[in-house]
Amino acid sequence: MTRGPLEQSPVTHPVPTSLARTMRRALSVGGALLLGACTLTEAPRSQPTEAAEEPWNWSEETVRSAVDQVRAGRDLNPAAWPGGARVAVLLSYDVDNETVQGLRTGQVSIGPLSQGQYGARVALPRVVELMNRESVPSTFFFPAWSLKLAPEQGALIQESAMHEIAVHGWIHELNTALDGPTEERLLRQAVDAIEEITGERPVGYRAPSWNHSPNTLQIVRDIGFLYESSLMHDDRPYELVQNGEPTGMVELPVEWILDDAPLFNPRGNSYMNPRDVMQVWIDEFDKAWEEGTMFLLTMHPHVIGHRSRIVALEGLIEHMKAKGGVWFATHADAARYVREQAGMPAWEAPN
Ligand SMILES: [Zn+2]
């Protein structure tokens, strides 16, 4: 893959000051809700004092501009999936390892870091072995530091020439807390670092903690990714719309129901038996099959790769294969296919 336009000037996107403050608060609240997977705590922010800033006093324009920053555009679910399949199954792994076990916050502690290394040392090989044995192409999203700490993960994933490696930030930084230039610098250097280790430039982006800052979408567009996979407007692939304008960017949406981390934390408040979680995923898959859409599941090697959980994943794949009519694909292959079916111009890597 060719390199992106690294010499571009930093992105800045002016937002009216009061709106920017309001949005930072909204993102802060949303971020706190979304961080179950990553056990990050954020410093409390100050509460609004000006009555004019209370949301029930917002002008029509303020509400609409808040919502319109990033919106779902046209549905990109194709009439049929390759080979006449009824449903596309996209399995993804966010290979967070040590980055979510302290590195991202700087709260470094040896016990949690050991759980991170379990991800690279035991869990990822177990997951890759299962995907290869079942011939299920998958996508592995890496924070660059997770790959830098254990670069052998890249070679293991690439060995079958079936899987995709994509980018998930630099050190799983909380991108919503960064200014635009810093967020862009970290993402560009993450893409470069992953390319340096794997020899392939990532074409897909998933935001750490699945959230966008007011700058994220523009940065993702400027870098020239094929697809984005962090948002939740739909169950089906769709085109992202930024401030009312279609972007040509394919979104492959995620969902917390379809994530292993929150429900598999044995010290969390919402712990579920892995076999019960498998049934939730089977129900999600069966409805996607009926509707002829897409099933996208996010897992984390250090979470799903334990012995009692990999059993749940094996059971899910067994169910899917028994049902039939499934197209297992990487996110990149799915994004290319839906673009083509929708009559969008073929995606080209930036020069
Ligand atoms: Zn992550």
What are the φ and ψ backbone dihedral angles of 299, each rounded to 5 degrees? Answer: -130, 170
Interval 273-291 mean pLDDT: 97
- Taking the C-alpha atoms of residue 329 and residue 257, their distance in angstroms, rounded to an integer, is 20
How far, in Å, from the CA of 38 to the mean position of ligand 1?
Answer: 7
54 C-beta neighbours (distance < 10 Å), count: 11
Q: Which of 323, 247, 207 is nearest to 70 (CA)?
A: 247
Contact 225, 236 (CB under 8 A): no
Give the least confident one: 49-63, 73-87, 277-291, 298-312: 49-63
Q: How far is the CA of 62 from the centre of ligand 1 (A)?
A: 31
**Contact (CB, 8 A) for 206 and 7:** no
Q: Copy the structure tokens of residue 299.
A: 């897992």
Ligand 1: centre distance to CA 203 (Å): 17
Which residues touch 108 (CB under 8 Å, ≥6 apart)?
Answer: 102
102 C-alpha to ligand 1 centroid (Å): 12
What pLDDT, on the 0 to 100 scale, is given for residue 351? 78
Centre of ligand 1 from the C-alpha of residue 234, in Å: 20
pLDDT at residue 40 in the model: 35
Q: Domain map of the chain by residue range? A: 17-341
Does residue 26 surpass a pLDDT of 70?
no
Cα 50 to middle of ligand 1, angstroms = 35
Mean per-residue pLDDT of the chain: 88
Position with higher pLDDT, 22 vs 301: 301
Structure tokens at 347: 């995606």
Burial class of residue 303 in the structure, from the number of CB atoms within 10 Å of its CB (0-12 exposed, 13-18 middle, 19+ buried): buried
**Cα–ligand 1 centroid distance for 60 (angstroms):** 35
Query: On the CB side of 237, how many CA atoms lie within 13 Å of its CA?
Result: 30
Pairing mode of beta strands 245-251, 138-142: unpaired
For residue 18, what pLDDT is reported? 44
How far is 138 from 65, CA to CA, in rounded Å?
Answer: 36
Q: CA-CA distance, 65 to 239, in Å (whole number)?
A: 19
Residue 127 tokens, joined: 């997951």
Domain 17-341 matching CATH 3.20.20.370: the answer reads yes
CA-to-CA distance for 161 and 189, rounded, in angstroms?
25
Q: In which band, very low, low, confident or very high, does the pLDDT at 5 lie, cut at 50, 70 and 90?
A: very low
Over residues 17-26, mean pLDDT: 44
Cα of 111 to ligand 1 centre, how many Å?
Answer: 19
Cα dist from 75 to 50, 79, 91, whole Å? 40, 11, 21
pLDDT digits (tens, 9 = 90+) for 153-184: 999 999 999 999 999 999 999 999 999 999 99
User: What is the structure's pLDDT at 52?
Assistant: 63
pLDDT of residue 51: 54
Asked if residue 7 has pLDDT above 80, the reply is no
Looking at residue 305, its pLDDT comes to: 97
